[in-house]
Structure 1
Amino acid sequence: MEFNKINDAITASDQITPEDIAVIKEKGFKTLICNRPDMEVADSLSSDVMAEAARAAGLNFVYLPIMPGQFTPDLIEETTRALAELEGPVFAYCRSGTRSTTAWALSRKGLMEADEVIGQAAGAGYDMTGLRPYLAG
């Protein structure tokens, strides 16, 4: 499990396990977002299993699966809503953290300057420069 802090509100990570949730809770996170589709993981890491473990630890859980390269307007809207409405800080995960970071970055359009989004993502180890035209649009 990685803690790739984008900013004080959100951290991205690679795949976690139910056992990792205690550490996530201990570090002060309040909401867990799973961006990894169930079809990519073993049953022991399914969104249902992770949701149960998160709720047992007192965390909010949101399942927003992203197939590689498929960032739909609905997904971006749901990500924006989750980040605005659910208690933070948020811990988001997928296979490598890239999809979670990309969803966050796309949800910031109109809320943050493109360079700020790209810079924060870069500070966490994710290259979002390819999103500049969309973010600046």
Structure 2
Amino acid sequence: MEHTLPPMRQLTDSLRACGQLQADDIRALAKEGVRTLICNRPDQEEPNQPGSDELADLARQLGISWYYQPVITGQVTDEQGLEFGKILQQAEAPVVAFCRSGARCGTLWALSQKPERSGDELVAELKRAGYEMPDFFKRLTG
């Protein structure tokens, strides 16, 4: 039986974002050719969440690079966005970033792009990818 991945949001040609990954998801992404995973979810954010160390070990065994950049929901800073951008610059594509729902990953990506792109352009890109975050959109365009 084919494994079904969590819903993915396509942010760029080489970057997708999604909610929490499980071990089977990482195996499926490896078969799909994903080269890098970015975990933006702090460990123990909720009960029964797989630990980042366990997922990182599996990813590396499957030849996938792993970055752990835990970000607290609702408290994403511009500096964390710039750090996310630095990770993306060195990451081998294709890349999948994940957190609880994928929203923090979209936020981090947009903040990483803010120095080069207009807020309106970033809001349009996020909406195209399926994000609806009016408060964050105001932060980008304000």
Q: TM-score, normalising length from structure 1?
A: 0.87
How far does residue 130 in structure 1 lie from its aligned partner after superposition? 3.4
Match of 2:3 in 1: none
Identity of aligned residues (%): 37
| Counterpart residue number, 2:131 | 126
Matched pairs, number: 137
Give unmatched runs, 5+ long, in structure 1: none
Q: Is the 8 A contact 1:118 1:128 kept in 2?
A: no
Q: Determine if the alignment matches structure 1 residue 83 to structure 2 residue 67.
A: no
Is 99-108 or 67-76 further displaced after alignment? 67-76
Query: Is 2:97 the counterpart of 1:97?
Result: no
| Superimposed CA distance per residue, residues 52-107 of structure 1 (whole angstroms, 9 cap, x where no aligned partner) | 11111111111111111111344223201001111112101111110111111111
Match of 2:34 in 1: 29
CA contact (8 A) 1:37 1:65 kept: yes
Offset from partner CA, 1:15-35 (integer Å, 9 cap, x none): 110111121122232110111
Structure 2, unpaired ranges of 5+:
1-5
**Superposed displacement of residue 134, structure 1:** 4.5
What's 1:11 paired with?
A: 16
**What amino acid is the match of 2:121?**
E
The separation in 2 between residues aligned to 1:88 and 1:127, in whole angstroms, is 26
Moved more, 43-52 or 31-40: 43-52
**Partner Cα distance (2:11, 2:49) in 1:** 28
- Contact 1:110 1:135 (C-alpha < 8 Å) held by counterparts: no
Cα deviation, residue 129, structure 1: 4.5
Partner of 1:71: 76
**What do you get for the CA RMSD once the two structures are aligned?**
2.0
Structure 1 residue 118 displacement after superposition: 1.5
Supply the distance in 2 between the matched residues of 1:129 and 1:38 (Cα, whole angstroms).
27
Partner AA of 2:74 in structure 1: G
What's the CA shift for 1:44?
Answer: 6.3
- Aligned CA distance change for structure 1 residues 22 and 106 (closer, same or farther; 3 Å): same
Structure 1 runs (4+) deviating above 4 angstroms are 41-44
Separation (CA, whole Å) in 2 of partners of 1:120 and 1:30: 23
